[in-house]
Chain A
Amino acid sequence: MKLLEFDQLSVAFDTEAGTVRAVQDVSFDVAAGEVLGVVGESGCGKSVSALALMGLLPRPAARIAGSAIRFGGRSLLDLPADELRQLRGNEIAMIFQEPMSALNPVLSIGEQLCEPLIAHRRLTPRAAWAQAEALIARVGIARPAEIARAFPHQLSGGMLQRVMIAMAISCAPRLLIADEPTTALDVTIQAQILELLRELRREQQMAMLLITHDLGVIAELADRVAVMYAGRVVEQGPVRELFRNPRHPYTRGLLASRPVPGRRLARLAAIPGQVPDPLSLPPGCAFAARCPERRTDCEQRRPALRRLDADHRVACFAAEGVSA
């Protein structure tokens, strides 16, 4: 059984200017201990999906439609608020792009680490503090006793992200949602954090929903990948298959638009144009206007996400035509 299932999730926001369809009919799943990478550009709906899963979308501005988000077989969308709270931080944990804004500036690192331990694990304050120091050491910070007494502004971005990870793993969650966990960090620090996440995952058999715009990070960490564009999943598959044999023109465009070390080209194969306005998405395929393989009916009809082989799905008429 899958640990996490998104079943035709749709999220829309009512704004002054109209309805923004942030996420439309998104389905994917994560098996226990598996890392699913969700990749896409800003506004593609990847973060909104994660927030929906955490029950953190602002209501009533956000309207959630579609069947369900299931975690361990339970539907999260109908779960009462207090049960959802029990689940959050305990079985599902989350780390963010900006660790500084996710931590409370007036509490010490140790105090913030103790909170979930006392709330979810029912530890005594003294035991919780000892556990907090152990966690700080676990995420590779030297001098844990000293850092536990420090406040967020005294630590660097990389250290704070380690603290966030320590907080996330404190209750041994079954699922970790990592929303752009290394985007705000320097390259050498990013390498440290990726290494740490890889280690933790191996050790704790923790499933991960890795949200990022960086295909490099995906290639380093993910088992399977879902590519999102304008609120929909356009391609999904095992990481090797997707990088070796990308079928959606958008996935190909993304891969081609990053320079590859050692392979020197005169020009990058940039995707022309812009992401469509989420207020007025075209009736057909949202990528059609930028697509080099556009066919006549792409702008009118929307391709469904169809299975190509084993676990590789794509939403594109051109890709279907080739395989048929």
Chain B
Amino acid sequence: MSDYLIEARGLSKHFPIRDGLFGRSTGQVRAVDGVDLAIRPGTIFGLVGESGSGKTTVGRTLLGLQPKSAGEIRFRGRDLATLSKPELRALRPRLQLVFQDPYGSLNPRIPVGEAIGEALLEHGLSSRDELRERVLEVMAVCGLAPYHYGRYPHEFSGGQRQRVGIARALALQPDFIVADEPVSALDVSIQAQIINLFAELRERHGTTILFISHDLAVVEHLCDDIAVMYLGKIVETGPRDALFGQPRHPYTRALFSAVPVADPDARRERIVLQGEPPSPAAPPSGCRFHTRCPQASDRCRDEEPTMRPLDGTHRVACHFA
């Protein structure tokens, strides 16, 4: 048994770029390229990155919703690739996903009580008689009232819908939840409610969560361990305190300094990165960040840095860190 609930090693996901009349593959987008992750049970792991960094793809590949191109995923120490179809299906309810868009992720024609409970019935995790009880219980955990049971998604606000989405995942008592930008579509005051809900899930139910977000302030507040992604690769990872206390990768530092702080006097030293992230279909040679890096040298252009441990689990992929 390993110390980690879920581990990914060398995880890659390449999407072919199809072109022309016959859909010939003319290249590939390396959305995720050799990612190593290890998540301790009962913790929230933050995966941070900008759009196009591949963070969503990591989450979906971990859940087996997209086949991986290379690498291995271990759940409780077992390689998922070695599992049979029925074993995988039995595993399905243990691994859940919370979506970003609280509007598109609920079927408009299904009352929320049914949406939360249907998978319980399907997997034989609850009898028909106790179903309502079980659903109301998990709804209460997520801050939904019993009278919400028979209502339809369009009768809810965005924040409430997100609660329904979380309740739906939680009803199956999963070991692992991937939460893909679960608060970024919500208003600020509602975001705080949902963030607190995730913190409660960890503390009361010991749920392990991969929290994917572009919002560093939220990630710092909520997560125990953090990984920063840039163009399909993890550039720095480590425990929260190490990462936020001493960010070592220039990208991590720039990212941290770019977050606007709600304090007009906090004029910190700001690193404004030049230019835009390159396309993942044609990533730069060497270190993928060298085109925007303030410290880039010739070595960065030619040689790709490998992940080096700094202290404990804090690791960074930079020649100069």
Contact = CB atoms under 8 A, between A and B. Distances in A.
Contact of A271 (B192, B256, B265, B273): B192
A239 B262 CA distance: 10
A219 B264 CA distance: 4
Contact of A261 (B189, B196, B244, B277): B244
Interface in B257-271: 257-266, 270
A88 to B, nearest CB: 29
Contacts, number: 124
A293 to B, nearest CB: 16
B216 A158 contact: no
A215 B263 CA distance: 8
A264 B223 CA distance: 11
A8 interface: no
B272 A186 contact: no
Nearest to B195: A268
A271 B196 CA distance: 11
B242 to A, nearest CB: 14
Interface residues of A, number: 47
A268 B190 CA distance: 11
Given A214-B260, A254-B189, A187 B214 contact: yes
A41 B192 CA distance: 13
A214 B261 CA distance: 9
A262 to B, nearest CB: 8
Interface stretch (A25-33, A60-68, A165-173, A188-196): A188-196
Interface residues of B, number: 42
Nearest to B262: A215
Contacts of B273: 188, 191-192
Contact of B254 (A41, A142, A188, A260): A188
A258 B51 contact: no
A159 interface: yes
Interface string A168-206: 000000000000000000111111101100000000000
B220 interface: yes
Kindly name the residue among B189, B259, B266, B273 whose own CB sees the greatest number of chain A CB atoms within 10 A.
B189
Majority DSSP secondary structure for residues of B touching A = helix
B159 interface: yes
A260 B262 contact: yes
Contacts of A259: 195, 217-218, 220-222
Contacts of A213: 187-188
Contact of A270 (B157, B193, B270): B193
A187 B217 contact: no
B189 A41 contact: yes
Which of the listed residues A217, A267, A269 has the most CB atoms from chain B within 10 Å of its own CB?
Answer: A267
A191 B258 contact: yes
Nearest to B185: A42
A187 B50 contact: yes
Contacts of A266: 199
Contacts of B216: 187, 261
Interface string B268-298: 0010110111000000000000000000000
Interface string A225-239: 000000000000001
A215 B193 CA distance: 17
Contacts of B214: 186-187
Interface in B185-212: 187-193, 195-196, 199
A16 B266 CA distance: 47
B179 to A, nearest CB: 16
B160 interface: yes
B136 interface: no
A301 B221 CA distance: 38
B264 A239 contact: yes
Nearest to A242: B264
A159 B157 contact: no
B255 interface: yes
B293 to A, nearest CB: 12
A11 interface: no
A12 interface: no
Contacts of A190: 258, 260
Given A214-B260, A267-B199, 19 more contacts: A156-B276, A187-B255, A189-B276, A190-B260, A214-B188, A216-B259, A219-B261, A219-B262, A243-B262, A243-B263, A259-B217, A259-B220, A259-B221, A260-B263, A262-B244, A268-B192, A268-B221, A271-B192, A272-B193
Interface of B: 50-51, 157, 159-160, 187-193, 195-196, 199, 214, 216-218, 220-222, 244, 254-266, 270, 272-273, 275-277
16 contacts: A142-B275, A156-B276, A190-B258, A214-B188, A216-B259, A216-B262, A219-B266, A257-B191, A259-B218, A259-B221, A261-B217, A261-B244, A261-B256, A261-B259, A264-B220, A266-B199
